[in-house]
């Protein structure tokens, strides 16, 4: 097995924008979460005029934002996107909205479809309409590769989707329908980014709905039990979070005059078994994975066609999975050491 190169965890040195961020104010909903806090880091590192975070801390964490609290350009609002007045307050004076707030997780959506619907559909619509009414220049929102549903076609192309396989997938597709309708009738053109299995620093390793990569790293670092759902031969287009930040920044300022949806991924895939073997090597774990039942609502194989994003956004994913895993391991290893003190 190939060895991992030494990594540099000093992220976001490269600018993915050409505009003067000092002249613009940004709202990040869900900014205390994994992807949201990475967007906060990028914007503040590149001198944004104002970065306002709206988060109810249901799945986000204040510690993800601790390093930014002393920055005069940073502002935090504790609030819920399900409340219309909170959304109106949050978008006041904002130029650009990065909407990351959602109740993620396919299993959670089966366990609690009502909350998933309320946050992911009603909350989304609240932010969309508030942004439109406040004169926001553009809203970029987190869509999902789960929208492809039961379509067997590979690689996934934006215009070819199947039937959704979970309540979560339904909510994310409804977001796209609302955004497209508002674009056509009100000339407010948002951009949806269909994320493919995002991973990286600040992703939550705890809780019943933690994603596979932080779970694997936590097990590898502590040399504890690993259970893979199904046979482990299911494949995913795992996407390092800095690639996702790049796509968000390029979507904010792209010359687009209608609602657009883009795949955000690498355009490569790996099986879950191989993923564990890579993480096992990185962490020097001696644990052999066991296999459990298939997870309800899971897609078997996922691979993105990123031609559209490359063409219209000039998106170019600079981190492949091995590079991303090396940086992510460095983060989780440091986190584990800190927690032991």
In this structure, which long-range contacts are made by residues 291-294, counting pairs with CB atoms below 8 Å and at least 24 apart in sequence?
Answer: 291/227, 291/228, 291/229, 291/230, 291/231, 291/232, 292/227, 292/228, 292/229, 292/230, 293/229, 293/230, 294/229, 294/230
Count of CB atoms situated within 10 Å of the CB of 78: 12
Closest Cα to residue 8, out of 219, 323, 341, 284? Answer: 323
* The residue to which tokens 């986190």 are assigned: 335
Q: What percent of the chain has pLDDT over 70?
A: 96
User: What confidence tens digit (pLDDT) does each residue in 25-61 have?
Assistant: 999 999 999 999 999 999 999 999 999 999 999 999 9
Q: 116 and 167 in contact (C-beta within 8 Å)? A: yes
**End-to-end alpha carbon distance in the chain:** 34
pLDDT of residue 9: 52
Please give the CATH superfamily to which domain 22-198+241-265+302-318 belongs: NAD(P)-binding Rossmann-like Domain (3.40.50.720)
Distance CA 24, CA 139 (A): 13
pLDDT of residue 261: 98
- Count CA atoms within 13 Å of residue 256 on its CB side: 28
Distance CA 86, CA 90 (A): 6
pLDDT of residue 340: 66
User: What confidence tens digit (pLDDT) does each residue in 284-324 have?
Assistant: 999 888 898 887 777 788 899 999 999 999 999 999 999 99
Q: Which residues pair with 227 in a beta bridge?
A: 290
At 187, list the tokens. Answer: 């000339």
pLDDT of residue 8: 40
Residue 315 vs residues 54, 94, 225, 240, 278: alpha-carbon distances, Å: 27, 25, 38, 14, 27
Count of CB atoms situated within 10 Å of the CB of 248: 27
Distance CA 314, CA 312 (A): 6
- Tell me the pLDDT of the chain averaged across its residues: 93
Cite the active site residues.
168
Distance CA 223, CA 158 (A): 40
Q: Judge whether residue 1 has pLDDT over 70.
A: no
Q: 58 and 117 in contact (C-beta within 8 Å)? A: no
Q: Is 341 exposed, middle or buried (CB count within 10 Å of its CB: 0-12, 13-18, 19+)? A: exposed
Closest Cα to residue 25, out of 55, 52, 44, 6? Answer: 52
Domain boundaries, the chain: 22-198+241-265+302-318
């Amino acid at each position: 097995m190939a060895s991992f190169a030494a990594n540099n965890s000093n992220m976001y040195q490269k600018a993915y924008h050409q505009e003067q961020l000092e002249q613009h104010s940004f709202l990040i909903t869900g900014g205390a979460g994994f992807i949201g806090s990475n967007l906060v880091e990028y914007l503040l590192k590149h001198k944004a005029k104002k970065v306002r975070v709206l988060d109810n801390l249901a799945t986000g964490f204040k510690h993800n934002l601790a390093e930014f609290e002393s920055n005069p350009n940073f502002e935090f609002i504790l609030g819920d996107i399900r409340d219309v007045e909170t959304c109106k307050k949050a978008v006041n004076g904002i130029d650009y909205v990065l909407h990351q707030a959602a109740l993620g997780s396919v299993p959670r959506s089966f366990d609690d479809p009502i909350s998933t619907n309320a946050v992911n559909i009603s909350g989304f619509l609240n932010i969309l309409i508030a942004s439109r009414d406040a004169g926001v220049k553009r809203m970029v929102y987190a869509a999902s590769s789960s929208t492809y549903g039961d379509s067997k076609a590979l690689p996934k192309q934006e215009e070819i989707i199947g039937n959704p396989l979970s309540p979560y997938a339904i909510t994310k597709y409804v977001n796209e329908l609302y955004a497209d309708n508002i674009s056509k009738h009100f000339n407010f053109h948002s951009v949806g980014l269909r994320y493919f299995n995002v991973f990286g620093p600040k992703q939550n390793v705890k809780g019943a709905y933690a994603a596979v990569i932080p779970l694997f790293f936590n097990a590898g670092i502590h040399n504890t039990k690993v259970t893979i759902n199904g046979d482990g031969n299911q494949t995913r287009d795992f996407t390092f979070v800095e690639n996702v930040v790049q796509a968000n920044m390029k979507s904010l300022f792209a010359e687009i005059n209608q609602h657009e949806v883009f795949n955000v991924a690498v355009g490569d895939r790996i099986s879950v078994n191989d993923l564990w073997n890579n993480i096992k090597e990185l962490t020097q774990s001696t644990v052999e994975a066991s296999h459990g039942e298939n997870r309800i609502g899971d897609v078997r194989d996922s691979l993105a066609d990123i031609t559209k994003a490359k063409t219209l956004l000039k998106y170019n994913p600079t981190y492949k999975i091995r590079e991303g895993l090396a940086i992510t391991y460095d983060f989780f290893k440091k986190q584990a050491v800190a927690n032991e003190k």
